[in-house]
Structures are given as structure tokens and as C-alpha cells.
Structure 1
């Protein structure tokens, strides 16, 4: 479909331009080819603009995985993650899109998924971890304006929504407990056994390492 091709080209162009924005992750798209499924790559710090980029790219990937515009690749979409976190509200919003579309999430060998990135990993319909995954307590940057009382209320809201989100993704409360037990200025790296215990891995085979443009 000619319209879809133009839309895809526009989305890919905009996501590539985002590579040059400061303090932004890069949401990149690799179309399907042969039996290789579409891939969305999320790298760097998660910020608000990444949600807008992901929404457009996710729709393209979903359509192409199911054979719109050409023969279907495999019916799935891989979302590869290499991020040390960022805005948790953005992470939860992207995570819910990943879950709604039944995308798979992957942390490839040599990559890391830390802090808010774990919310994305948790959303995957299938999950593969070949790299490192780390958690800690959610935090808010000090804006120098918000009072201690208001900040305490904000933290209470974040913790409640984090617990609700993990429950929504079908993960055990023990993962939430592990997060809360780790100070926000430290990282608790999860072992292979931890990943299994917390439900962050499901057995899907690793794919060949395809390097996305940096």
C-alpha cells in the first residue's frame, strides 16, 4: 500500500532525527525482511518525545508483522532494549502499548536494561535477556521547589502506580519489594535465577545480533 510506505518512511525519518536530540533515547525501526520480524530499538534515557515516536513506529511494525503491504514476517515484533531508564510515566505508557500489541521484548548480549527500562521488559509477550537487568527504587529529580510534604505524596503515588503496573503485567510482588529495597542511587543487578523468579524471562530463542545504527 503506497500510503503505508510513505507513512513508514516518515516515521523512520522522524525517529532517526531524534538521535540528534539531547538527553533523548533513540527509538529506531528496522522493517521486516524475509523471515526476520520487524524490530523496534529503544536506547538511552526515556523522555516524553520517545512516547510519541514509539506510538507511530509501533503501529507501522504491527501492520507489517501481520502482512499488511507484503507477506508477513512472523506475526511478532521484537522490541530491543538498551537503556538505563528515565521517565517512568513514559516507560509505563510504552509498556502498555507493548503489551496491547503482544510485542516481544529483548535485552541482547552486551546491552543493559535498568530502572524504568525494566517496565518495558516486563511488558513483553515473550522476553529474552542476554544482557544485564538492574532495578532500584523509583525517584524524582529534586526541582528545588516542591516541598518535602508534596514530594512525599508524589513518591507515594509513584510507588502505588509501580506496584499496580507490575501486577498488571502479571509479575510477582517480590519484584516490587526488590525495587523498594534498593536505594535510588544504587542498582541491584538481577541474576539469571532472579530473572526467572520475578517472571522477567520467558523461553524464546535469541535472535542473531543485528547492530542498529547509532
Structure 2
């Protein structure tokens, strides 16, 4: 990867807003990588149209056609590896991945999660933050490991929780920051600045804190 432009494969399940953020960053010259393919487990995912409009090859691998999670992940791995990716990006890919799959892409697969991990792994993160009375919330990009939403953090964006917030308004504020930090993390990786070693994230050779690099948008 050091001497050539890295290949990125993006996995999606839905509308693909984070995919669009990656496409836009690429088009602005801020993501020095090839967006080699977009693969969806849902045939009607709108993100496939975003990819096609950007001239990116698309693949559909419908998980409902497989008898087990393991068989789907094995087929998905073959589809991904056909593009020889340096990095796999999960952009709203709504699948729990098997351990063998995550190990295969260890250190070269990123995910984004709408909370300040390790807080609020799993679903309904915005409502959970409101129910807990948190004064801040946010989003995390992390390396993927076998533990759900548990890999080492790369970068977090912090947003304020306002007194009048609902889960929907808070989600919109978080999504703005998603579209900032996911292209940033992808750029760091593509430039050879970001890697995972011994279960930690390293940026420019320095071990990041457990939170990852922090971008605070509250100010």
C-alpha cells in the first residue's frame, strides 16, 4: 500500500449517507484512495444508487439467501477479496459479523457507531443518552474486532445534548459529525498514518488514548 493508491471496499445496508461523505471527500481530493466497490446485503439499499452515480462498481449479496451467518460471511469475504482491498469500511452495514470474518480483516476494517464508545454499544444510542441525562453525546470510528462495537477507537466527535433534544434532533447533530470523522479516519489509513497493533489504534506511530482522537464540536 505504501507505493500505490490503496483500495477501499464499502459495505452498506441502507441509504448510504456515510458512503456519500466518503465519495464527496474523494472527489474533493481529500481521500487518496480508490473506492473500488460498494457491496450491500439489501438489494433496495439507496446507497447502491449513490455508488452507481459516482461510477463505483456495486455488488448485492442478499443475506436472506443463506442458511447461516457463517455461510453469508464466507460468501461476502469472497466478494470483498475479489477487489483486493487494503481497507474495508462498514457504512451502515447492519450485520453482526462472525469472528472468522473479523479476524480475516483484522487491522483493515473500520466501523462507525453513533455513541461515544464504549458507551451505548448496540442500538437506540441517542435515546439511551437522553434517558441517562448525558450532557454530551457523539460518534466513534473504530477498528472492527470480534466484539460488537468493541474494537479500539480511532476518532470520536463530541456533540452537546440540548435540553430540548429528542432522539431525532440529537441523531441529526451526530450525523453531521459522522460525515466529518469517517472520511478523516479513512484518509489517515490511506496515507499510512493509521494502523492497529496489539489491540490499540496508532496514529503517526503514537498510541491513541482509549477514546481515540477527540474532535469536540461543543465550542
TM-score normalised by structure 2 residue count:
0.29
Give the strand-richer structure, 1 or 2.
2
Which protein has greater RCO, CA pairs closer than 8 Å, 6+ apart? 2
TM-score with structure 1 setting the length: 0.29
